[in-house]
Structure 1
Amino acid sequence: MSSALPEVPRTAPAPAAPDGSPTGRLARTGAFCARHPLWVVAAWLLVMCAALAGRQLVGAGFSDQVSLPGTPTHTGASLLKASEPAAEAPSGKVVLHVESGTVADHGKAVADTVGRLAALPHVTAASAPVTSQDGRTAYSVLSFDRPLKSLGHAYTDELDEATEPARAAGVGVGYGGDLDQIVRPPADDVAAELTGLAAALVILLLAFGSVAAALLPIATALVGVGVGMGVVGIVAGAVAFATAAPTLAAMLGLGVGIDYALFLTTRYRQDLMEGRDPVEAAGRTAAASGRAVLVAALTVGVALLGLYACGIGFIGRLGLAATIAVLMTAASAVTLVPAALGLVGRRIDRAHVRRPVAETSGDRDGWHRYAALVARRPWAFLLAGTTLLALCAVPMFSMRLGHVDSGSDPVGSSTRDAHTWISDAEGPGFGPGANGPFLVVVDLSGASRGAADIGRGLGEALQGTPGVARATPPRASADGRILVSTVTPTTGPQEAATGALFERLTDRTLPQALADTGATAHLTGTTAGQLDFRDTVTERLPLIIGLVLVASFLLLMTVFRSLVIPLKAVLLNLVTTAASYGVLVAVFQWGWGAGLLGLTGPVPIESYVPMMMFAITFGLSMDYEIFLLSRIAEDWRSQRDNQHAVGTGLAVTGRVISSAALIMTVVFLSFAASPSVVIKMLALGLAVSVVIDATVVRLVMVPSVMFLTGRANWWLPRGLDRILPHIRA
């Protein structure tokens, strides 16, 4: 039996006009935009202004509230709300602290402060201060009549005004508990965006020489991002996005927007250098690179929207916000960029800092020589790349998911002060665990024994559980339907020991204490909810990974008419994700270089960051994969020589992919200055993944694998080829 591969299905070339220029919808769109640039630019500016104005009119709101129906936390909270509605009212702590003496020494100022707090709008009660054993720390619990997030950050001014008497007396004031939802200042992305844009401009000037060619991708990306941010804000009027959604959307939109515009601009300049008319060049650019941009954006969108499959709306909506930004920048890339190119025409290289270059300088340039070197030693390059990524991925196996608490907020912030003062103080209501206590809610509806008997046994079991600092005696609600006890761990909310205590209470202490009683117990409260969220995300992460892998495989198989290319792509992108996870663990969890990011110590990996990173990293990795493979496939269709196609594709896209990756990296890293630890994680993780993917994977491993697999790269069974729709990148 012959072992030869079946004949490779031949994809028909793109239709062309009699003069050789490509036709088709994208080509006509690109040529139209280049022929009428002022109208197109004006239309985009009008849309941007309308979107941003709509965002203001809607009054977009953002919230980090997560609901997980069916979990013990949700069930316990529902039982508590039904029996004791006041216990479920939104609340927060105002913490008072003195370095010397006691808080009681400032009794009049403290009493005045508590009275002012009780009189604030939407505050229903302010408890008498609870004081630590040494008297240096005290706190008052404020109860509110509405969710704290709805009060907005401006409410902080009212809190500050109410606590002014204490401050004037020399008493430190901090805000703890759920008050951090309104006290933490909203992220200011302007400085990060300006830093990223300045760095991108420098890179573009150094890489391509032309001032206009450097400014054009940035200008068009800003318009696309502006439209995207406006649309996200409008949608936020009906959909509750997380507080990190606007920053994530801006970060991704800016990164991919500059990259998309860069790929089109580079292709356009190459066509000009080959003597083509500007309008024709814009049409050809839209037909070739524009199609790759749309496929790449679609791939990113599929990966991000796949987050909805986890069943957690909070995460799915983060993906939706990012998808909106990516799609808006892609739309601007295939319409606004050709218009801008038509507007500058041949003047695109008139102002330059060095001799302008475009895609390639010929068959003997440095990238062609590098491609030839990889072709001669593909195994050596593949082994070197695999070894490097494996080493980066090692820390991933010790990843610990959790929630980053207020103790990791910037030094000197009121939320961090409150967390530290409560953690360091002693006495009931104080200690590290007081920043994240558990509530035990016992459902007595099916109990076969009396509440007092059940409560006595439960109280002894809770107090005797390792890791419990104290547990209040279980008390019955007024309607007698539930028992409630507050359990204070010995460790803080983000510590691994607290997560272990959560599992110990859930799996052993509570079931054993209530065995044969007919009663059931549930752990609830903020910390329990965060740990339930962590467990839910961990359980559903494989589903997201599988869904994104399958969807990406099918899309790439359809685009490139191959089984080997999409299989290689998904496997290498998995390796990229693993390596970026490893770097994230080393920096944040192990603390390697954490000080450079403004962190004072190790923190767990925020529960949803790996899931978000996988979707985003996979989508961005596919961007570069598609840009590289689209040029390889273009040469393959005309030459039918795999080695020549891989070498040409690498030579043509190597410099532009490297420059685009560097731009996206600096854009992401600029957001690492955010005070939010979660944004820092996403910024660093995405920057590392882009660097790894665009260098080690895209320029080393992909060509070496394609050289090794040879003609098999382009094999697709004839029957499957007939079934699949025809989409070309």
Structure 2
Amino acid sequence: MPTETPRADGALAGLARFCFRRRRLVLLTWIVGVLALAFLGFRFGAPSDNAYSGGDSHSARAQALIEQHFPDQQGDTLTLAIKADGGIDDPATRQRIEQVIADLAASPVTGPVTSPYEDQTLVTQDRRIARTTVPLTDMDVPRADVKPLVTIVKDASGDGLTLGLGGDKAEKAETPPQGPAEGIGLLTAAIILFIAFGSLVAMGLPIVTGLMAVLGGIGVMKLVGHLVPSPDFTVLVAVLIGLGVGIDYALFILTRYRDSLREGDDPETATVNAITTAGRAVLFAGTTVVIALLGLIAMGQRMMTGVAVGASTAVLVTMIAAVTLLPAFLGFIGYKIDALRLPRRTARGQAAGIPTRERRTLAERWAGVVQRRPLVAAILAGAILLVLAAPALSMRLSLPDASVQPHDRSSYTSYTIVTEGFGPGYGAPMIFATEVDSAGADLGPVVEAVRNTEGIASATPPRVSQDGQAAIFMAFPETGFQEEATTDLVHKLRDEVLPGVTGGQTVYLGGPNAGAIDFADETSSRLPLMITVVIVLSLLLLVALVRSVTIALQAAVMNLLSIGAAYGVLVAIVQWGWLGSALGFTTEMPITVWVPMMMFPLLFGLSMDYEVFLISRIREEYERTGDTRIAVTRGLARTAKVITAAAAIMIAIFTTALLGPDVSVKQIGLGMAVAVLVDATIIRMILVPAVMELCGDANWWFPGRKSRKFTSVPPAEVEEAARV
């Protein structure tokens, strides 16, 4: 963000000239580099790592004991659920069930399958519902190898027999790919760009730049995964963020380039001006996003560290593309930036969004309205944001299970059958593990105390490991995986029941449900630290950029308000169910654990993007005129169109996540779309001009700054800026 006339001999100016003049070399380097990175990344990239447990939690210690002393428990498992309207003992039905079990057991990725006809504990008393466990031979069985098992079960259903295959691997195997969602987002972005620029050439440059940057960024991210593993959803998040910021950064630079051409500069000079002004702002804004993302490392969670590094890599590549690849493209385009343009009825300057004396733009008139009643505007905007944020106070965190999947999935069918026959707690097993002195160790009192705890449906007898050094048993709650009562029960068992009956012996409570609860608790406890780190680092960077402590503090508070509003809307839609079904959420559900902590650094960084581009223009006008009101009016007028277009592109890309199959990615897409909408409207169009009007010259306070002289502004211009 320039505060003075950009240096024509600076590093950015030199880079812009080099890329402009050696455009063929730069473009060829980018094409070859992106293709090479994409090939290496997709061919030799690291596999995803979705492990979320770790540290020193109860569930992590339980899992460590199981892995050390129960090697036969290492493989993952699937659950075959069976429901027969006429009972499972009907001869024809039994033949079909036994054939399915035989087919599942014959797979090279499964172990022996116990038939429910051999174990009566696997069948309900009315003999209509049964279940059995299908062990997998390896924890890392590819989803492609599990997909045929799901197909076997689905094909065998019908004629009074309903079968479902549940388990984490089954859910992933039948989850369809993201599909054409990103393509729809790109098409929408193209339409928005065409409306903003009115030119097919100007429309295409940001999209091509963004696509090349994202493809190269994902390739780098997959290679970096060998050093810092990341979960499978990181690619989707990186695509959403990379496309959004990649197109937006190119849009901001391209807008400055076109403005410079209209002021009479030749293409090379216009390119240098665009990179040294908007390009500099892009580097600061992108650095803020990267810093905010790296704040996830403060969570101390391996999975989030992988997301932070992976997504930061994608953003870093988009920044480099904006200041190198785009200048090369501009060297080829030159004066033809407005080629293939549709005719418009408005004047050229007005069509480009340039404010004129003859006709004040809507943004200028709106700024005048806000500045006439700044206190009222600030109070109303703040009240709206607080109301939107209020539902966030009741946010619950969990991880999605089969109960929140689309109802046509085999995993959901398995869940409903097992819940009907054996209770909802069967999908939330609690695994208790402890070290023992010998194979004859007596865990009877512990098992009995757990079994008699209110909320426990049943408990299994204890099992001692072959080496006689550890023992485990399982218990099933009366409530399901997603219910708050299950979380309360886990805490009660750990805090009240187990300490009273173990006699000094440490019994750890683990299992998938307990692991998710520990993950949520750890996230809640460390989230304030991450928020503090992100805010402090971003503030330091913004202060260095705008040379104003006041504006940096304003930005931090406003960003927190917009993120809080996004959290509140997300809770109302996903957790409370308001409009949830219309937006692709099949049922009410808690917020996925990693979504709010992923949203915060992303949104804080993206909000800083808009802050940088708006304040950059305001600062330029203030440096020229010394009048805050005129600076705000003109800055808002000159950036309203481009920020609106950029926000619309972001919203279009983020909302395409709602078209995909992953409920967690849907949540983050929805939350981020809401936050960008709030930021580009209530924050930038109301709160920023209102607060800056109230602060006046205090906006530019910086320790040690001396007063300076400003270029005089004609009285008529001052009067015009003050009129509505």
TM over 0.5: yes
Do the aligned partners of residues 490 and 198 (structure 1) sit closer, same or farther apart at CA in structure 2, a change above 3 Å counting?
A: same
Query: Shift of the alpha carbon at 1:206?
Result: 1.9
Confirm or deny that 1:437 pairs with 2:429. Answer: yes
The one-letter code matched in structure 1 to 2:177 is: A
Counterpart position of 1:461:
449
The one-letter code matched in structure 1 to 2:198 is: G
Query: CA RMSD, aligned part only?
Result: 2.3
Counterpart position of 2:500:
512
Do the aligned partners of residues 541 and 644 (structure 1) sit closer, same or farther apart at CA in structure 2, a change above 3 Å counting?
A: same
The one-letter code matched in structure 2 to 1:392 is: L
Of the structure 1 ranges 306-315 and 467-476, higher mean CA displacement relative to structure 2 is found in: 467-476
Alignment of 1:687-702 (within 5 A): 687-702=673-688
The 2-side partners of 1:59 and 1:158 are apart by 26
Counterpart position of 2:717:
none
The 1-side partners of 2:687 and 2:155 are apart by 65
The 3-state SS of whatever aligns with 1:451 is coil
The 2-side partners of 1:79 and 1:99 are apart by 42
The 2-side partners of 1:591 and 1:699 are apart by 30
Counterpart position of 2:297:
308
Query: Shift of the alpha carbon at 1:590?
Result: 0.4
**Residue number among 624, 629, 640 corresponding to 2:626 in the alignment:** 640
The 2-side partners of 1:347 and 1:571 are apart by 42
Do the aligned partners of residues 460 and 12 (structure 1) sit closer, same or farther apart at CA in structure 2, a change above 3 Å counting?
A: closer
Confirm or deny that 1:321 pairs with 2:290. Answer: no
Of the structure 1 ranges 37-46 and 458-467, higher mean CA displacement relative to structure 2 is found in: 37-46
Counterpart position of 2:112:
125
**Residue number among 415, 421, 424 corresponding to 2:417 in the alignment:** 421
Alignment of 1:338-487 (within 5 A): 338-355=327-344, 357-363=351-357, 364-425=360-421, 430-445=422-437, 451-452=441-442, 455-487=443-475
**Does the 8 Å contact 2:3/2:616 carry over to 1?**
no
Of the structure 1 ranges 462-471 and 170-179, higher mean CA displacement relative to structure 2 is found in: 170-179
Query: Shift of the alpha carbon at 1:361?
Result: 2.6
**Does the 8 Å contact 1:183/1:415 carry over to 2?**
no
The 1-side partners of 2:706 and 2:447 are apart by 65
Cα deviation, 1:484-505, whole Å, max 9, x if unaligned, reads 2211011111111111111111
**Residue number among 175, 192, 217 corresponding to 2:181 in the alignment:** 192
**Does the 8 Å contact 1:76/1:441 carry over to 2?**
yes
Confirm or deny that 1:501 pairs with 2:489. Answer: yes
Q: How many residues align?
A: 693
Cα deviation, 1:60-115, whole Å, max 9, x if unaligned, reads 42232223131111111222233322134322223333344426643333333323
Counterpart position of 2:127:
135
**Residue number among 575, 586, 589 corresponding to 1:600 in the alignment:** 586
Do the aligned partners of residues 354 and 704 (structure 1) sit closer, same or farther apart at CA in structure 2, a change above 3 Å counting?
A: farther
The 2-side partners of 1:369 and 1:36 are apart by 44
The one-letter code matched in structure 1 to 2:484 is: A
Do the aligned partners of residues 134 and 320 (structure 1) sit closer, same or farther apart at CA in structure 2, a change above 3 Å counting?
A: farther
The 2-side partners of 1:79 and 1:350 are apart by 68
**Does the 8 Å contact 1:93/1:179 carry over to 2?**
no
Of the structure 1 ranges 391-400 and 134-143, higher mean CA displacement relative to structure 2 is found in: 134-143
Cα deviation, 1:418-456, whole Å, max 9, x if unaligned, reads 11111111xxxx2211112101123335x9x9833xx33
The 1-side partners of 2:20 and 2:90 are apart by 74
Of the structure 1 ranges 410-419 and 683-692, higher mean CA displacement relative to structure 2 is found in: 410-419
**Does the 8 Å contact 2:147/2:170 carry over to 1?**
no
Query: Shift of the alpha carbon at 1:666?
Result: 0.9
**Does the 8 Å contact 1:199/1:666 carry over to 2?**
yes
**Residue number among 263, 282, 288 corresponding to 1:274 in the alignment:** 263
Identity of aligned residues (%): 38
The 2-side partners of 1:568 and 1:636 are apart by 17
The 2-side partners of 1:534 and 1:275 are apart by 58
**Does the 8 Å contact 1:200/1:667 carry over to 2?**
yes
The one-letter code matched in structure 2 to 1:141 is: T
Counterpart position of 2:528:
542
The 2-side partners of 1:518 and 1:220 are apart by 63
- Segments of structure 1 that go 5 or more residues without pairing to the other structure are 1-10, 17-21, 722-729
Confirm or deny that 1:78 pairs with 2:64. Answer: yes
Counterpart position of 1:155:
145
Counterpart position of 2:695:
709
Confirm or deny that 1:683 pairs with 2:669. Answer: yes
Cα deviation, 1:505-538, whole Å, max 9, x if unaligned, reads 1111111222xx2211111111111111111111
The 3-state SS of whatever aligns with 1:92 is strand
The one-letter code matched in structure 2 to 1:650 is: L
Cα deviation, 1:526-564, whole Å, max 9, x if unaligned, reads 111111111111110001001001101111111111111
**Does the 8 Å contact 1:267/1:359 carry over to 2?**
no
**Residue number among 247, 251, 255 corresponding to 1:262 in the alignment:** 251
Alignment of 1:36-51 (within 5 A): 36-51=22-37
The one-letter code matched in structure 1 to 2:124 is: S
Do the aligned partners of residues 710 and 295 (structure 1) sit closer, same or farther apart at CA in structure 2, a change above 3 Å counting?
A: same
Query: Shift of the alpha carbon at 1:160?
Result: 4.4
Confirm or deny that 1:28 pairs with 2:14. Answer: yes
The 2-side partners of 1:37 and 1:509 are apart by 71
The 3-state SS of whatever aligns with 1:619 is helix
Counterpart position of 1:13:
4
Query: Shift of the alpha carbon at 1:166?
Result: 4.1
**Does the 8 Å contact 1:73/1:532 carry over to 2?**
yes
Of the structure 1 ranges 284-293 and 204-213, higher mean CA displacement relative to structure 2 is found in: 204-213
**Does the 8 Å contact 2:110/2:135 carry over to 1?**
yes
**Residue number among 55, 80, 86 corresponding to 1:69 in the alignment:** 55
The 3-state SS of whatever aligns with 2:492 is helix
Query: Shift of the alpha carbon at 1:195?
Result: 0.7
Do the aligned partners of residues 103 and 416 (structure 1) sit closer, same or farther apart at CA in structure 2, a change above 3 Å counting?
A: farther
Alignment of 1:231-242 (within 5 A): 231-242=220-231
The 3-state SS of whatever aligns with 1:718 is coil
**Residue number among 102, 106, 114 corresponding to 1:115 in the alignment:** 102
**Does the 8 Å contact 1:122/1:145 carry over to 2?**
yes
Do the aligned partners of residues 269 and 169 (structure 1) sit closer, same or farther apart at CA in structure 2, a change above 3 Å counting?
A: same
Confirm or deny that 1:609 pairs with 2:603. Answer: no
The 2-side partners of 1:263 and 1:140 are apart by 58
Of the structure 1 ranges 554-563 and 299-308, higher mean CA displacement relative to structure 2 is found in: 554-563
**Does the 8 Å contact 1:177/1:435 carry over to 2?**
no
The 1-side partners of 2:343 and 2:75 are apart by 65
The 3-state SS of whatever aligns with 2:388 is helix
**Does the 8 Å contact 1:402/1:534 carry over to 2?**
yes
**Does the 8 Å contact 2:146/2:169 carry over to 1?**
no
Query: Shift of the alpha carbon at 1:157?
Result: 3.8
Do the aligned partners of residues 288 and 180 (structure 1) sit closer, same or farther apart at CA in structure 2, a change above 3 Å counting?
A: same
TM-score normalised according to structure 1 size? 0.91
- Segments of structure 2 that go 5 or more residues without pairing to the other structure are 117-121, 708-724
**Does the 8 Å contact 1:125/1:144 carry over to 2?**
no
The 3-state SS of whatever aligns with 2:143 is coil
